[in-house]
Amino acid sequence: MFDQSYFAGGVIGIIVSLINIYMWVIIIRVLISWINPDPFNPIVQFLRGITDPALDAMRRIMPRFLWSTGLDFTPLLLILLLQVLMLFLKSFRV
Model confidence over 3-35: pLDDT tens digits? Answer: 787 888 889 999 999 999 999 999 999 999 889
Query: Cα 42 to chain center, whole Å?
Result: 20
DSSP secondary structure letter of residue 62: S
- What are all long-range contacts of 19-24, with beta carbons under 8 Å and residues at least 24 apart? 19/82, 19/85, 19/86, 19/89, 20/86, 22/50, 22/82, 23/79, 23/82, 23/83
d(CA 71, CA 87): 27
Q: What mean pLDDT comes out for the span 46-70?
A: 86
Residue 70: its pLDDT value, please? 77
Q: What mean pLDDT comes out for the span 59-77?
A: 82
